[in-house]
Structure 1
Amino acid sequence: MKNHSSRRNSIKTIVAAATGVVLSPVGSLAACSQPGGQLQLKGNINHSVCRWTYGHLKLDELCVLANEIGIKAIDLVGPKEWEVLKRYGLDSSMCNGAEINLVNGFNDPQYHSTLVKNYSEMIPLVSKAGYKNLICFSGNRNGMDDETGLTNCVKGLQQVLPLAEKHGVVLHMELLNSKVDHKDYMCDKSTWGVELCKRLGSANFKLLYDIYHMQIDEGDVIRTIRANHQYYGHYHTAGVPGRNEIDDQQELYYPAIMRAIIATGFKGYVAQEFIPKGADKRASLRKAIETCDV
């Protein structure tokens, strides 16, 4: 989900590496983190960070850094690595691993049988591990009109939502921009995603509102959050343009956005999903948490 190196490729690399890596003892990793101590966070935002954007670190190293800063969870982690999170007392704030990919999703009936099988297997695992959120995707249009896509998504998701409701798991369809990063992706506007939520009518289906993506495709971020917050179960951050640090070199003012999210009564997670380009990538994450902790 970036211009030069996609989230798809990053996730594949991380998953492949996870099967063969020998995890280092916790004590030996302490030197990997930057000094500075845990931030004095206000407690209004539940902070998380996406695994793939810090893929240059071993998961153990990222967990040490998260604990040092005061981050409560790691986003986009699958079952093979949940035990690592538990070792460090961290939540898996958005689980993944049931999706086929970002382009073949619930809007195309030819993938329904595979998706239903994948999600039917994953949902109980998420629940058993003590987690709640599981990501899903609409898929690309491939010439399909929005109404057909909505109808197809409803048919596919209705086959797994009863199981999600039974296990207390919430499926989150991510809103991605189709202008820059994910050409042809269908769930690229909040209006389309909200309509899907309304048609499904389940508290166990929500949208992952990615602030970076929605700034690119529709803007009007704060008003949209206020108007549709009941349909948003999770948030991602990144700087626009470029998907890098959320600093003064990009156009979004994150403190105001975070205050708007808090004002809706949101109690879920806000996950940092920027791609750090600064020389001190650990400091970039620390600064992002400070910026968003309002």
Structure 2
Amino acid sequence: MPRFSANLSMMFTEWPFLDRFPAARAAGFQAVEFLFPYAQPVEEIAAKVGENRLETSIFNLPPGDWAAGERGLAAIAGREGDFAESLGIALEYARALGARQLHCMAGIAPVTPEGEARFIANLRRAGDVLGVAGIKVLIEPINPRAMPGYFLTTTAQALDLLDRIDHPNVGLQFDIYHHQITRGDVIRTIEAIHARIDHVQIAGVPDRHEPDTGELAYGPVFEVLDRVGYDGWVGCEYIPAGETVAGLGWRERLA
């Protein structure tokens, strides 16, 4: 059975952010992840991670102005300086929180040769900067229904860009929820590309609730992850249909 990491941006939202760490530990999670930690002083988050004997599996680089609709900077023209600055901010948090992987969002941008070249150059820079600290940077396709206009939408596109980035410290975050919506054929895909997957995330499809709801049978998916030898964290990036703890029975049912 995979090792599960609770996404505290989506789960345990019955509690204030810093109180979600002990809540996740009490519910049996040994790792946590979140979207953006930057609204909280890093010392406060680090204290919660340490007090609750948790690992930090992953979080995102600063995405730009989220409230204004920005969803990452890596493919955005004219934001190269902001992207470079964001690496330093994320590195400070990652070191304090013990994160060994960070997700780099591409942004809302059309797929053009210029955009691809910009994205490739920025990811190589991120791989260099974060690699010095032993932190790997990951890219993740996001389905266009969830994030219209996003630059990176399919696993095939991500793998093509990773081949062109050609950096040992840049890898793939495989979100099964997004892949099911854009392509499907999850099990055969995992069998084909498992050696390239650095982090996995899950949610029920199509409503993004608990993974034992919706159209995708996660029991066989977890079996194939075990069979191919995936030993990383599986991030629970779903929105509970009700109270978080009440919905956690899927772990036993799918086991």
Task: Please indicate the TM-score interval, normalised by the length of the shorter structure.
Answer: 0.7 to 0.9
Q: Partner residue of 2:185?
A: 220
Pairwise CA distance, 1:66 = 2.4
Q: How many residues align?
A: 244
Deviations 1:228-253 (A, max 9, x none): 22222111111111111222x41111
Quick one: distance in 1 between partners of 2:130 and 2:56?
17
Deviations 1:24-58 (A, max 9, x none): xxxxxxxxxxxxxxxxxxxx422111111122323
Against the structure 1 CA distance between its residues 291 and 232, is the aligned structure 2 distance closer, same or farther, given a 3 Å change threshold? farther
Aligned to 1:264: 228
**Residue type at the aligned position of 2:78:** Q
Residue of structure 1 equivalent to 2:9: 52
Change (3 A) 1:61 1:288: farther
Per-residue CA deviations over 1:84-138 (Å, capped at 9, x if unaligned) read 1211111111123533245342112312210111113422541354320112111
- Please say if 1:170 is aligned against 2:136: yes
CA distance in 2, matches of 1:60, 1:125: 15
- CA 1:128/1:97 → structure 2, altered by over 3 Å: closer, same or farther? same
Distance 1:159 1:214, change over 3 A: same
Where do residues 148-227 of structure 1 align in structure 2 (5 Å cutoff)?
148-178=114-144, 180-227=145-192
Taking only the aligned residue pairs, the percentage that are identical comes to: 23
Task: Say whether the 8 Å CA contact 1:104–1:111 is kept in structure 2.
Answer: no
Tell me if 1:94 matches 2:62: no
Letter in 2 for 1:264: V
CA contact (8 A) 1:235 1:271 kept: yes
Residue 281 of structure 1 corresponds to which residue in structure 2? 244
Q: How does 1:44-123 map to 2 (within 5 A)?
A: 44-54=1-11, 55-76=13-34, 78=37, 79=42, 81-100=45-64, 101=66, 103-123=71-91
Does structure 2 conserve the Cα–Cα contact (< 8 Å) formed by 1:173 and 1:207? yes
Q: Residue type of the partner of 2:15?
A: L
How large is the Cα RMSD of the aligned pairs? 2.1
Identify the structure with bigger relative contact order (alpha carbons < 8 Å, sequence gap 6+).
Answer: 2
User: 1:230-269 alignment to 2 at 5 Å?
Assistant: 230-247=195-212, 249-269=213-233
Question: What SS does the corresponding residue of 2:103 show, helix, strand or coil?
Answer: strand
C-alpha spacing 1:265/1:82, structure 2 compared with 1 (3 Å): same
Instruction: Note if 1:130 corresponds to 2:98.
Output: yes
SS in structure 2 at match of 1:259 = helix
Runs of 4+ in structure 1 displaced over 3 angstroms? none
The alpha carbon displacement at 1:169 in A equals: 0.2
8 Å CA contact retained: 1:85, 1:91? yes
The question of whether the paired residues in 2 share the 8 Å contact of 1:109 and 1:156 is answered with no
Instruction: Give the CA deviation at 1:213.
Output: 1.1
Contact 2:27–2:245 (8 Å) recurs in 1:
no
Structure 2 counterpart of 1:282, one-letter code: V
* Amino acid aligned to 2:107: G
Structure with the greater alpha carbon radius of gyration = 1
Shift of 1:60: 4.8
Name stretches of at least 5 consecutive residues in structure 2 with no aligned partner: none
Once residues 252 and 169 of structure 2 are traced to their aligned partners in structure 1, the CA distance between those partners, rounded to angstroms, is 31
Q: Structure 1: which 5+ residue stretches go unaligned?
A: 1-43
Q: Is the 8 A contact 1:240 1:250 kept in 2?
A: yes
TM-score, L = length of structure 1: 0.76
